[in-house]
Amino acid sequence: MAATTSSNLLHFSSSHSTSRLSPLKTALFSCSKRKLPVAGGGAATTTGGVRCMAVAAEAASVKKTSSYQIMTLTTWLLKQEQSGIIDAELTIVLSSISMACKQIASLVQRASISNMTGVQGAVNIQGEDQKKLDVISNEVFSNCLRSSGRTGIIASEEEDVPVAVEESYSGNYIVVFDPLDGSSNIDAAVSTGSIFGIYSPNDECLPDLDDNSTLDTEEQRCIVNVCQPGTNLLAAGYCMYSSSVIFVLSIGTGVYSFTLDPMYGEFVLTQEKIQIPKSGKIYSFNEGNYQLWDDKLKKYMDDLKDPGPTGKPYSARYIGSLVGDFHRTLLYGGIYGYPRDKKSKNGKLRLLYECAPMSYLVEQAGGKGSDGHQRVLDIQPTEIHQRVPLYIGSVDEVEKLEKYLA
């Protein structure tokens, strides 16, 4: 009788419905079974304890990923800080830059509605007509960096000299930026962008100042700190204002891309560890200046157009906005170039605000940035608005050009 009762109890336990049990409890019942002899003959079914524990542990190790889980730029920066890759100060500076980019993105999208298209009426230090949004974007960028309380010196392409942040708001980081690259395209609603680079203070480099310089001591100190080669960059990036607002950033651990989600008002991680293809079939040059180039560069360009054995020449893609052209090159491979010519002896792009940050990014993505003869990041600036030729993109393509120019 005792054996029968025991058998019935065991049978009841093994056949009990598990539909209402938790995943862990269900796992405990999903065990292999073995037969045990009982008094009076027959066998009783019981569970194997070791097997149960193994299944339970396996079930517990399964992690579900929520379909609503996203990685925002803020969260990503905090994770880098927790890992010791950046400090809290740099986290705040980068967050301030992302806020400036959000504001500028909104201004760009509403430019026609808010009557912010057209020329401001002023000329910047490079002798270029300033668009209305150039001036506004510069103010937005400067205000966000000042209010962060973590920047000591800021230098803008639109300003004559770098500016020391007020004592009450000053920090240690030096930020150089082009607040609105490609602003000449604003009226036609073509993609534009903001470019930035971040340095630590450095009193070792010497600026090229005249003996009769009218700059005061503070302004000279700012120039000395800002005139650093790209190899000293701690971080660099750009924000592209186009069909999507895309924030591309590197802190020395690869290139990451974040897209502004209008639903949340946050930049969301969309691409990690971007790698530029080693070679490509797209070139991006302003061929309107072809007759002003030297013969070596003309020969290079002519060879790109030659179909060769494959029967397929390189494709030409040129937007006229460095950020837009570079972003495409970064994703698809190829080469972007802004060479020197008879009209612009050193090219038109600024070393500090455009060439160095973009070269830093492309190298982080496995590409190359060159002035045609040397690495852009190795160039020591001698003045804050120094211009250099720029050839940037896939390693194979840039090295091919360097051979033509040698």
Block residue for tokens 């090295």: 399
Q: Is residue 77 a part of any domain in this protein?
A: yes
- Do 56 and 122 lie in one domain? The reply is no
Q: Is residue 67 a part of any domain in this protein?
A: no
- Do 319 and 395 lie in one domain? The reply is yes
Q: Is residue 156 a part of any domain in this protein?
A: yes
For 175-219, what is each residue's pLDDT tens digit?
Answer: 999 999 988 888 888 899 999 999 998 755 444 445 445 667 777
pLDDT at 166: 83
- Do 233 and 374 lie in one domain? The reply is no
AA letter at 321: S
- Do 241 and 103 lie in one domain? The reply is yes
Q: Report the CATH number at residue 291.
A: 3.40.190.80
Domain boundary among 271, 295, 320: 271
Domain boundary among 13, 40, 61: 61
Distance CA 279, CA 335 (A): 9
Among left, alpha and beta (phi > 0; psi -120 to 50; other), residue 40 is: left
- Quickly list DSSP for 98-136: HHHHHHHHHHHHTTTTTT--SEEEEE-TTSPEEEHHHHH
Q: Is residue 217 a part of any domain in this protein?
A: yes
Distance CA 371, CA 386 (A): 13
Q: Phi/psi of residue 390, each to 5°?
A: -135, 130
Among left, alpha and beta (phi > 0; psi -120 to 50; other), residue 220 is: alpha
- Do 267 and 298 lie in one domain? The reply is no
- Do 231 and 117 lie in one domain? The reply is yes
Those residues of the chain that have pLDDT short of 70 are 1-67, 116-130, 203-215
173-181: strand order across its sheet: 163-164, 151-156, 173-181, 192-199, 235-241, 245-250, 256-261, 266-271
pLDDT at 185: 83
Q: Chain-centre distance of CA 138, in angstroms?
A: 20
What is the end-to-end Cα distance of the chain in Å, rounded? 101
- Do 148 and 213 lie in one domain? The reply is yes
- Alpha-carbon dihedral angle through residues 183, 186, 187, 190, given to the nearest 10 degrees: 120
Provide the b/e sequence for 103-137 (b: ≥16 CB within 10 Å): ebbebbeebeeeebbeeeeeebeeeeebbbbbbbb
Q: Report the CATH number at residue 210.
A: 3.30.540.10
pLDDT at 230: 96
Distance CA 267, CA 259 (A): 5
- Do 247 and 381 lie in one domain? The reply is no
For 106-132, what is each residue's pLDDT tens digit?
Answer: 999 887 787 766 565 555 555 566 678
Q: Is residue 256 a part of any domain in this protein?
A: yes
- Do 14 and 50 lie in one domain? The reply is yes
Q: Is residue 68 a part of any domain in this protein?
A: no
pLDDT at 203: 57
Q: Is residue 158 a part of any domain in this protein?
A: yes
pLDDT at 67: 64
- Do 27 and 92 lie in one domain? The reply is no
Which residue segment(s) compose the domain that 32 sits in? 2-61
Domain boundary among 222, 241, 271: 271
Count of the separate structural domains present in the chain = 3
Q: Is residue 234 a part of any domain in this protein?
A: yes
Q: Residues with Cβ < 8 Å from 261, sequence gap 6 or more?
A: 70, 267, 268
- Do 219 and 293 lie in one domain? The reply is no
